Structure 1
Amino acid sequence: MPIPEFIVHTREKIGTDLMWLPSVAAIVLRDTTTDSPWAVPDVLLVKRADNGEWTPVTGICDPGEEPHHAAAREVLEETGVRAEAAALLGVGAVGPITHSNGDRASYMSVQLRLEPVDPAAEPVVGDDESVDVGWFPISTMPVTDPKWRLAIADAASQRRHPANFSPRLGLAKR
């Protein structure tokens, strides 16, 4: 589902004016399938149809929807993988962004780490938002955007050492 109906209806009234939207970034990790003692987790990624970039699954929360439910829903819709929220990684403002159709938006992004219900589940392209999906070892993932590389590193760090994890997203260092 590319644009939620509530946004389509709002855009009919406000055009391309700036909207403030709740969003999620779902970073799904699983134990690697390799036998290396230096193995790192695998991360579930989608290759976006709009810009060709590999990223974690992202999406917009429906009105009244909890972020952890939105993250699991988006992962299922976009990859066919059932996943459950395991940890909150951070919350912060992103944008403003001008999309290719001229719509402007800023997002309150909730980044969550999720774990697949079935770690052996093979992802499939679930909608027209992506052209490819897959599991990748974090050490060789095709993600190039520094913000996503940092978010995935945070997810791996939180997974490995939850008691020592400190979120970066949304926290300004003073």
Structure 2
Amino acid sequence: MATPDFVLSLRKRIGHDPLPLIGATAVVFRDEKVLLGKRADNGAWQTIAGIVEPGEEPADAAARECLEEAGIVVSVDRLALVQQLPRVTYVNGDQVDYLDIVFRCSWVSGEPHPADGELTEVGFYDLAAMGDVDDAHVRKIALAMAEDDPAHFRGGRVKR
């Protein structure tokens, strides 16, 4: 899980201070199954996700992450969810505030496999067999399931 060069460059300037980043999450469906991967770093089962590179469209980032991490080609069908995640503090002390943009995607081609070392296992799983997936990822999957629902988001009010 290599840290992108642009993040390393920013870290030289700001140290461990909170860094706002945009993440793209791909909830990929194939027939009645969803793509899940087991992370190499912590063993958690989740959907495919990664950091949006400078100048990159978030939907393109979601598709790129699927190819890089799972070796599959997807079509990005619709926006499902936009949310600010709780601050993450990594073991080295780096703090990150992720804006997570979640997309519903459809499998196009390729058989899933751990393509770049970020995942130890990856495949399509029945929706009923998601016992090891945490509630946050179950929510993302649930919101992405409908093919034509509007995107969900929190907030929308100015606090006084």
Q: TM-score, normalised to structure 2's length? A: 0.91
- Which runs of no fewer than 5 residues in structure 2 stay unpaired? none
Match of 1:36 in 2: none
User: What does the per-residue CA deviation read over 1:103-128, in whole Å, with 9 as the maximum and x for residues that have no partner?
Assistant: 1000111000111112xx32110112
Aligned partners of 2:133, 2:75: CA distance in 1, in Å?
26
After superposing on structure 2, the runs of 4+ consecutive aligned residues of structure 1 that deviate more than 6 Å are none
Q: Percent identity?
A: 38
Residue 166 of structure 1: how far off its partner (Å):
4.1
1:45 corresponding residue in structure 2: 36
Give 1:138's match in structure 2, choosing from 120, 127, 130: 127
Instruction: Answer with 10-19 or 69-78: which moved more.
Output: 10-19
Match of 1:68 in 2: 59
Long gaps (5+) in structure 1 = 32-40
- Residues 93-108 of structure 1 mapped to structure 2, 5 A cutoff: 93-108=84-99
Task: Work out the CA distance in 1 between the residues paired with 2:94 and 2:28.
Answer: 29
Within 2, Cα distance between the matches of 1:65 and 1:80? Answer: 20
- Cα shift at 1:15: 1.3
Corresponding pairs, count? 157
Q: Which residue of 2 aligns with 1:15?
A: 15
Is structure 2 residue 112 aligned with structure 1 residue 88?
Answer: no
TM-score (norm 1): 0.84
Q: How far did 1:99 drift?
A: 1.4
Shift in Å at residue 100 of structure 1?
A: 2.2
1:152 match: 141
User: In 2, are the aligned partners of 1:2 and 1:128 still within 8 Å (CA)?
Assistant: no
* Structure with the higher fraction of residues in strand conformation: 2
Partner of 1:35: none
Equivalent position SS for 2:9 = helix
The structural deviation recorded for 1:142 is 4.3
Query: What do the CA deviations read for 1:147-169 (whole angstroms, capped 9, x no partner)?
Result: 1001111111x22xx1xx2443x
